[in-house]
Structures are given as C-alpha cells and as structure tokens.
Structure 1
Amino acid sequence: MFPRFSKRLLSGPKLALLINRNYTLLWLGGAISLIGDTLFTMTLILWVGTLLQNQSAAPLAVSGVALAAALPALLIGPFAGVFVDRWPKLRTMRLMDALRAVLVCSLLPISEPLPLPLAVKLTIIYLVVAAVSALSQFFTPATKAILKEVVPEEQLTRASALIVGAVTFGWALGPSCAGIFYVSLGAGWAIALNVASFACSWVLIGRMRVSAAESRASAQPTSLWHVLTELREGLRFIQGQLQLRTILLTQSLFSFGWGIVSVMAFFYITQNIHVPMSLFGLLSAAPPVGGILGALLVGRAAAKVGATSVYARAFLFAGVMIVVSTVPNQVIIDLVGFTLIGIATMQAEALVGSLVLFATPEQMVGRVFSTLGTVTALSSLLATFLSGYLSSTLLQGVVIHLPTGELNATNLLLIGAGVLIFAGGLHASRQFRKRQ
C-alpha cells in the first residue's frame, strides 16, 4: 500500500513536490511520524492521569512521562551524535523507526484492562517511553544531517522552515485531538496509530535515493576511547566556531525561558485572566497557529535582511512580547500577543537548522545537533523544575501592585522568561555583528 502511494505521489505533478523527490519523502515521513508521536504522548499523559485518578500521586506520575522522555536526551544525546556521524543516515533512520514501532507496540497488551498491579503498568510505560526517546536521539540528528545530502544549499532555509511548520502543526493538532479520541476510543488507538506512523515513515524513507558515499558506514573502530575522542572533537569544533557558540547559548536561554512559559501558561490562562477550561485550548493554540504563519514567512524575511538578523530579531521581539502580553492580564491582548510570540519564535526555530548546517562540515553534523539538543533539553528541564519550585515556595503569595493591575508569582516568572529570551536575542545580535 505505502510503496504504491509513494509512487503515485512522485509520478504526479511537480507542484506536489516540496523542493525535490527525496526531501518530499523525508518531510512526509517525518510529518506523519510526528503527528503519531504527539497524539501518543498526549494520550499517555491522559492514560497515566486516569490510572491514578483522584490520587495525590497523579501529578508526580504524569510528570514521570516527561522525565522518562527527557533523561535519554541528557544521557545518550551527545554520544548518539558520534554514531550518527559514522553510520549511514538512511539506514539509521529506518532502523530507529522499526525499533520504535516494536517498542510502542509492546504497550498494546497493557492498554487492555489486564489484572496487573498499577506499579507494573507504570513501570512498563516509563521504560517504553525512555527507550523510544533514546532511539529518537539517533533518528533526529540523522534527519537533520541528511538535509545537506538531499537539499541544495540555497534551499536549506526553506527546507528547515517546512520541517518546523510540520512540527508546529503536529503539536497544535495532537493535544486538541488526543482528549476527544482517548475518551471515545481508549489508549489502544493511539498506540496502534503511532506504530502505523513509524511504519509509514520507514516505507517513505526507504524510497529515498542518496549518493553511494552516504550509504557506506565508517570503518573506524568504535571503542569507548574513540567515541569519547570524537565527542571531544565535536565540542572543540563548536567552541571554535562563533556562529555555533552563539546559537548554542541563545538556544539555551530560549529553552530555559520557554520552559518557564510552558509550565506557567496553564496557571496564567486559568487563574490570572480567568479563562474557563472550555476555552483553554483556544488560548493554547494561539502560539502554534502563529508558528505556522512564522514558518511560512521566514524564507522571505531571511532573503530580505539575512538569516542571522531574522534569528536575533525574532528572539528580541518575542522577549518583549512575552512581557507586554502578560503584564496587563487582559484576554484580548494575550490572544494577539501569543500569536505574535508564536510567529517570532518559530521564525527563529526554523532558521536554527540551516544556520547550523551552513557552519558545520558534513562529518560533524550529527555531533553538533546532538550537543545542541542535549543542552536545550537540560535548560528546559531545569526551567520546568525551578519555575514550579519558585511559584510554590519563594514567590508564593507575592503580589506587586501596579497602575495596570496586580502582578503575582506567575506574572513575575513569565516576565523573567521574557527577559531571558530577550537576552538571548541581544547576545545573538551582538555576536553576529562581530562577523561582519
């Protein structure tokens, strides 16, 4: 079925292609897999929350899903980049798809009401999530690294923007559909759908055609010493490249700030501006909707003023808008502000891939992207912990009276997030000017 579909797609009009045949297959496989992933992740959260419904441990159990997904990025991510640089990218991606499909499929038996202890079910869920995340540490850098092979250099910005647009769409679609489908169909449907999405990605990526050089694996030894040596080489390379150093610090500040925003958004929307739960999705969808628009516009903006300028200005604008939007505690201002923040942040995120690829030789791409992913994951994880801790302890009960209204702990943390993101944009702007 899938091979016939891909043949029909590629024999159709050229307008059906995104940049070229190989990229179209890569984009389609990634987009389908991502939609499956987002629906699966949100359903897991709902599933775990339902298993512990009305129990005091429910929030901790739900956070365990996020922790199980985050830990492999911190522990495995940097080393995965070494192997991605050695291994054939297409084979790596297909192998990870196949293994992830098998792992996710193993959850199907416990999605039924089997007489298993709750602790056993949760342990299986956490182990599968962690294992799938570990495999993704190989898949994701390989996907980014192969862009240099399948996309002309002048099209890298557009290629990255299309991928970010698909990611944004997936994360906008997943949360809105997961709740409805989980209530009506249960957890098994999301597990089966995610397995099918990995299978679809496996087939589509298999239809890609790359050069013979890319299909050959490295013959170098793979001892721990060699892996650590190559990892150090990658870190030294990043340290010696102004553009990569700048991106690494800027993305770290953004991830930390955005981690705070992600944690505090629920409390801001439901408590500060008193939006009913029935309209929570509308406010939450504003940044992804803006993000899709930002991804569509970024190519034209980068061509007009330069990719580095757009990247730095986007974070400067986003930082200001987070502060401006969250201080007045007004719904209409927030709806417009969140949309503009989404446009700005996604423009910056759409440019990260191409900026890294422009500054990195092919043999280093896996290590650079893995290091970037690890550092940003750590920043986001720290922000998640610290914002929850501060809002519950040191800042609890703090209220600042202004002519525009009151600022509580949620406002103050969001203002801090905006300042951090603005600082990242300011750092990027100053560092990129040094190259000119």
Structure 2
Amino acid sequence: MFPRFSKRLRTFPKLALLINRNYTLLWLGGAISQIGDTLFTMMLILWIGTLLQNQSAAPLAVSGVVLAAALPALLIGPFAGVFVDRWPKQRTMRIMDALRAVLVCSLLPISGPLPLPLALKLTIIYLVVAVVSGLSQFFTPATRAILKEVVPQEQLTRASALTVGATTFSWAIGPAFAGICYVSLGARWAIALNAASFACSWVLVGRMRVSAAERRASAQSTSLWSVLTELREGLRFIQGQLQLRTLLLTQSLYSFGWGIVSVLALFYITQNIHVPMSLFGLVSTAPPIGGILGTVLVDRTAAKVGATRVYARALLFAGVMVVVSTVPNQVFIDLVGFTLIGIATMQAEALVGPLVLFATPSPLVGRVFSTLGTVTTLSSLLATFLSGYLSSTLLQGVVVHLPTGELNATNLLYIGAGVLIFMGGLLASRQFRKLQERNHMEMTYLKTDNRRSQHR
C-alpha cells in the first residue's frame, strides 16, 4: 500500500501540469492576474458609483473607466506589437507586471480618507487605468506570442482553450467577489489584491525556462520611421494572408455584435424578461458557464472536424441562438440560449489564437495580435456607442407586434447583433473553404511536379 502511495505521490507533480511546466506557470500567472483585473475593474465601478452616489453624472463617470481602458488599445496597440516582436517576450511580460503592480498601488493613498477633491480623485483613477491598459497592450501580445516557444504546435488549441477558460472563469466569479470584497473590506483591499496578482504573475513568469534565442533582445533602431516601417510590414502581411484577413473581418463583426449584446444585457434581463435586479448577476453567469464548457470541448472537436470549420460553425450557431433566444422573452428559453451562446462564442474565441499562430511566422506574431486587438476594440466601442444611441433616440418607443409577443428596441438591436455574428460565420465558412481549396490545389500541383521530376 505504502509503496503504491509513494509512487502516486512522486507522479503527482507531472499529473498536475497543464501541457508542460512552462505553460503551467504561464497559465497560473495569467489566471491569477485575470482574476485580479476583474476584481479591480468591478471595484472601480462600485467605488466611482459610491463617490458619485445619487448624482446625475455617475453613469458618465463610470463610462469614463471603460473609455480610459479602451483608448490605449486604439492609440498604442498597433505600435506595441512592433516592440513585442523585437523584445524578449518573457522579460517584456515581467517588466509590464512590475510596472502595473506599482501603478495600481499608487491608488492606495486616495482610496482612504485623504481629503482630495472629487475631480482630482477621478482624474488620478482615469490616468492609472489608462497607463495600466497601455502596459497591457505590450503584455497581452507577448503572452500569446510566447506560446510558440513554450507549447508544441499540436497542443496550441488546447493551450488557447485553457487560457480562454481561465478568463471566462474569472469573469464568472469576479463580479460577485468584487461586490463582497468592496462591501466588507473596502476599495483598498481590492487594489491590494490586484497589485498582488501582478506580483504573483511576475514571479511565475520568471520561473519559466525559455531558450537563449528568446532571451536575446533585438538591437534594432527605435526611430519613428523604423517603427512605422515595421508596422506597415505587419499590415501588408495580414493583407496578403487570406486566413488572417478573414479572422480580422469575422472578429470585427463578432465584436460589434457581442458588444451590442453586452451593453444592453442589463436592460434585456431586467425589463424584457423581468428578472429582479438582485438576480441579474446570477442570470449573467449563464454565458460564462457555457463558455467554460465550450473551452473544455473545443480541443477534441477541432481535432475531429478541423479548427477552421469549428470556428465558422460556432459563429453561425451563436448568431442563430442570439436571434432565437431574443424573440420569445421567456426566462427559461433565454437561460438555455445564453448558455449555448457561451459555448459557441468561447469555442470561437479559443480558436482565434491558434489560427493566428498557424498562419504567422514568429517575427510577426506581436504585430498581428496587436492589430487584431485594436480592430476588435474599435468595433466593440462603436457597438457600445451606437446601441446606446439608437435605443435612446431613433428606436425609443418602437414596438413590433408578433404572435409570440412584442419586440422593443432592445429586442431589435439583439436581433441585429445576432445577424452580424451570423454574417461573420458565413464569411468565415466561405473564405476558409476557399483557402482549403487553394491549399489542395497547391498540394496537387506539388505532387504532380515531383512525379514529373522523378520521371525525368
């Protein structure tokens, strides 16, 4: 008995690994950091809402956090990719973690009873959020790019699924824990926990063992002209690759559609299907729960059917389910629909990373991921603005009568979002089929050419 127990104990560290040691450390660091980010974001919303309690400017002040986080992605993101491709990925991630931890800690003095004007407090919060978001534009592409170094190519889909699953899990539990943490402990503890999460990520990433080639920095010119030249090279590469162009377009459509769904979720759940505000958080966990299940299934499904087919079918299914679950205005149907939508969308999200890595050489990975992130962020921002504007102005009071019930502005915008996501799936299906046909023709030509050369 004891020898068997000792043998199992010796093999436990290997069984606990996710793919390999390096990826396990990377995954743990990212998961801890993501949970800290979620707690921090939700805490900021609650904190600002408390500071401006019962004031008409409260919604605008809260939206300022979203804007402060999004602007660096639009302004810095594409250029950050150039430097990510130049710099050692591991060192870049550790530097960004250290800087983000220090910046988040700078909010501790103003989170207490320090007598500062409200406008100054908000300005400091927005500046810290903006700078932290700017640093994340370097950290996130570096995390995705280093996967080629630490994960075998045949395991990339599984690695991406595990990473997306950790992100989905953090967003499933983050809002609930943020509320409990803020009410019982205050803003200081949430700030300290987020800073500690960056410190944990710094330690774990530092324990990774990477090749000597990855540790070497690129001694290239840092002039504006050289940066712009390399940025143009990355954009031209994307333009010349059908798979990357397709992903850029489909992810833009998906981000726009899902942005509409996310912005109007509160109104749809509380007004259309009449769920009490106290249960809003519970109903909102349906997509993340489905998303976790989707990431569990995606590796096996992609191995059987193919990554491109699963990606396209996931978007098609998600688009249909957004429309189908929107029309009846029934709680049970919506809960099932939201869960199925979560399964499909997270499968698509998990496959984006591997599809980009399969089509991109290592020296260009940072630029490709940064460009993709910038475009999707812009699409999501446009969706946020347009959906809020249309529901408050042009579509306000519009009601469409159907045998199953009435459709208001929120329903109509949800249907439009579903159609956009479905169009993204159609585009992906068509373009990837064209890519497969082209690859098949090239393979046939190469085989024929080899046969001819052998006969000669």
Query: Please, what TM-score do these two structures have when normalized by structure 2?
Result: 0.93
Instruction: Tell me the equivalent position of 2:93.
Output: 93
Question: How big is the shift at 1:219?
Answer: 1.1
Instruction: Tell me the equivalent position of 2:264.
Output: 264
Question: How big is the shift at 1:282?
Answer: 1.7
SS of residue matched to 2:401: strand
Question: How big is the shift at 1:10?
Answer: 11
Change (3 A) 1:285 1:10: farther
SS of residue matched to 2:285: helix
Superimposed CA distance per residue, residues 371-406 of structure 1 (whole angstroms, 9 cap, x where no aligned partner): 000000000000000000000000000000000000
Matches within 5 A, 1:7-18: 12-18=12-18
AA paired with 1:337? Answer: G
Instruction: Tell me the equivalent position of 2:334.
Output: 334
Measure, in 2, the Cα distance between the counterparts of 1:282 and 1:341.
16
Tell me if structure 2 keeps the 8 A contact 1:395–1:409: yes
Change (3 A) 1:335 1:252: same
Query: Please, what TM-score do these two structures have when normalized by structure 1?
Result: 0.97
AA paired with 2:192? Answer: A
Question: How big is the shift at 1:277?
Answer: 1.1
Superimposed CA distance per residue, residues 263-282 of structure 1 (whole angstroms, 9 cap, x where no aligned partner): 11100000001000121112
RMSD over aligned CA atoms reads 1.0
Question: How big is the shift at 1:11?
Answer: 8.7
Matches within 5 A, 1:40-119: 40-119=40-119
Measure, in 1, the Cα distance between the counterparts of 2:336 and 2:433.
31
Measure, in 2, the Cα distance between the counterparts of 1:177 and 1:271.
25
Superimposed CA distance per residue, residues 258-309 of structure 1 (whole angstroms, 9 cap, x where no aligned partner): 0000011100000001000121112100000000000000001101100000
AA paired with 1:262? Answer: S
Instruction: Tell me the equivalent position of 2:202.
Output: 202
Measure, in 1, the Cα distance between the counterparts of 2:17 and 2:184.
36
AA paired with 1:155? Answer: Q
SS of residue matched to 2:264: helix
Measure, in 1, the Cα distance between the counterparts of 2:12 and 2:306.
34
Measure, in 2, the Cα distance between the counterparts of 1:221 and 1:396.
54
Measure, in 2, the Cα distance between the counterparts of 1:13 and 1:251.
38
Measure, in 1, the Cα distance between the counterparts of 2:113 and 2:319.
47
Question: How big is the shift at 1:143?
Answer: 0.2
AA paired with 1:210? Answer: V
Tell me if structure 2 keeps the 8 A contact 1:10–1:17: no
AA paired with 2:290? Answer: G
Matches within 5 A, 1:17-416: 17-416=17-416
Superimposed CA distance per residue, residues 145-195 of structure 1 (whole angstroms, 9 cap, x where no aligned partner): 000000000000000000000000011111111111111111001100001
Q: Moved runs in structure 1, 4+ residues, more than 2 A?
A: 9-13
Measure, in 2, the Cα distance between the counterparts of 1:67 and 1:176.
23
Question: How big is the shift at 1:13?
Answer: 2.4
Gaps of at least 5 residues in structure 2 are: 1-8, 437-456
Question: In terms of Rg, which structure is larger?
Answer: 2
Tell me if structure 2 keeps the 8 A contact 1:312–1:426: yes
Instruction: Tell me the equivalent position of 1:4.
Output: none
AA paired with 2:431? Answer: Q
Instruction: Tell me the equivalent position of 1:424.
Output: 424
Tell me if structure 2 keeps the 8 A contact 1:141–1:370: yes
Change (3 A) 1:401 1:28: same
Instruction: Tell me the equivalent position of 2:433.
Output: 433
Question: How big is the shift at 1:106?
Answer: 0.1
AA paired with 2:80? Answer: A
Measure, in 1, the Cα distance between the counterparts of 2:34 and 2:13.
26
* Pairs aligned (count): 428
Identity fraction in percent: 88
Measure, in 2, the Cα distance between the counterparts of 1:224 and 1:11.
52
AA paired with 1:205? Answer: V
Measure, in 2, the Cα distance between the counterparts of 1:289 and 1:41.
20
Measure, in 1, the Cα distance between the counterparts of 2:388 and 2:148.
40
Change (3 A) 1:378 1:10: farther
Tell me if structure 2 keeps the 8 A contact 1:28–1:204: yes
